[in-house]
Amino acid sequence: MTAVGVAKGRVTGPVVARAFSALAAFDAEHPQLSLSELARRTGLPISTVHRLAAELLACGALERGTSGRYQIGLRLWEIGALAPRGPGLREIALPFLEDLCEVTRENVQLAVREDDEVVYVERLAGSRAVPVRTRVGGRFALSATGVGLVLLAHAPGEVVDRVLASPVPRYTRHTLTSTAAIREALAAARRRDCAVSDRQVTDDAVSVAAPIRHGSGPVVAALSIVAHAEGAEVASLSALVRTSAHAVSRALGSVPGPRRFGG
């Protein structure tokens, strides 16, 4: 579900739900919104949106740009930075991502599962990186990307069943859309401790991903390399991404205290 999907429709619940609906109306394509656009994208009355916007401005969750339009405020980012599955995970994994990006000069991505979608926590682009459709903070289908296949392979059975029961988006002619083909890819990901998405999202990219565990515990994230499909040495990329993912897993396992990285 995209941010627009969260915001779509008329919201009549408690004030917290209405406030979240207003914040969720912003996305990468709509980083700034007028009051009327906020009302339209949330389905809330203009008077309600006006009051919500004033309250969110007062607490720093929204700001006004130079044009007078609303945008997400710095205070919201500061609070979000405390989330262990986002910036907390990123902070621990980043040195390993940087090393992997430097060695391969390709895209390196870190992602977690949120309900039935992938959420990208970090992405580094190397000097020869192929263009990708993903962005930090963005969401994507679990069934198509390397990180998505890894996360889905280690998700509870009811999540897998729910994802496969829904329409599977097709991005290229190589995208796996049949239930049987996707289940086969998930079984391979568990067996090899690695998943390969070959030109499933764009025609010129292959993604190789491995699971990140909390120490020796459950899978909490996935790490991938996205490389040019032409000439990609998948076996070498698989070995590199598994090694890096294992290193991040060890680092997560050494974190003291009750910090929680799982879904």
Using alpha carbons, list the distances in angstroms from residue 167 to 68, 149, 162, 255: 40, 16, 10, 39
Domains of the chain: 3-79 (1.10.10.10), 84-253 (3.30.450.40)
CA-nearest of 169, 225, 171 to 195 is 225
Q: What is the DSSP letter of 216?
A: T
pLDDT in tens, 153-177: 999 999 999 999 999 889 999 999 9
Mean predicted confidence (pLDDT) in 131-153:
89
Poorest-pLDDT segment among 86-90, 127-131, 156-160, 249-253: 86-90
- Residue 190 CA to residue 77 CA, distance in Å, equals 35
Residue 6 has pLDDT above 60, yes or no: no
- Looking at the predicted structure, is the pLDDT value of residue 12 above 80? no
Tell me what percent of the chain is helix, strand and coil, each rounded to the nearest 5. Answer: 45, 20, 35
- Residue 137, C-beta contacts closer than 8 angstroms, at least 6 positions apart: 28, 119, 120
Between residues 76 and 122, the one the model is more confident about:
122
Is pLDDT at 73 greater than 80 in this prediction?
yes
pTM of the full structure: 0.71
Q: How far apart are CA 44 and CA 19, in angstroms?
A: 10
